[in-house]
Copies of this chain bind each other. A is one copy, B any other.
Amino acid sequence: MHEVHVGEDLRERNREIAGENRELLRKHGVVSLNLMSAPGAGKTSLLLRTIPLLKEKFRICVIEGDIQTRRDAERVGALGIRVYQIQTGGVCHLDAAMVHTVLHQLDLDSIDLLFIENVGNLVCPAEFDLGEDSRVMLLSVSEGDDKPKKYPLMFLESRLLILNKLDLLPHVEFDADKAKAEARDLNPYIEILEISCKTGEGIQNWITWIENFYKNREVS
On A, residues with C-beta under 8 Å from B are: 1-7, 10, 38-40, 66-69, 71, 89-92, 95, 119-124, 140, 142-144, 146-147, 149-153, 165, 167-168, 171-172
Beyond A38-B38, A67-B150, 11 extra complex contacts between A and B, CB < 8 Å: A2-B90, A2-B91, A3-B90, A5-B5, A39-B122, A39-B143, A66-B150, A68-B150, A92-B92, A92-B124, A120-B150
Q: How far is the CA of A181 from the CA of B37 in the complex (A)?
A: 26
B5→A2 contact, CB < 8 A: yes
Q: How far is the CA of A24 from the CA of B83 in the complex (A)?
A: 51
Residues of B within 8 A of A144 (CB): 39-40
Residues of B within 8 A of A68 (CB): 149-152
B142→A40 contact, CB < 8 A: yes
Q: How far is the CA of A142 from the CA of B120 in the complex (A)?
A: 14
Q: How far is the CA of A68 from the CA of B123 in the complex (A)?
A: 11
Q: List 7 A-B contacts (CB under 8 A).
A: A2-B5, A5-B6, A38-B39, A40-B142, A67-B152, A69-B150, A123-B124
Q: Which of A2, A6, A7, A10 has the most CB of B within 10 A?
A: A2
Residues of B within 8 A of A2 (CB): 5, 90-92
Residues of B within 8 A of A69 (CB): 146, 149-150
Among B39, B149, B151, B153, point to the contact of A150 (Cβ < 8 A). B39
A120→B151 contact, CB < 8 A: yes
A165 CB to nearest B CB, Å: 7
Q: How far is the CA of A5 from the CA of B7 in the complex (A)?
A: 8
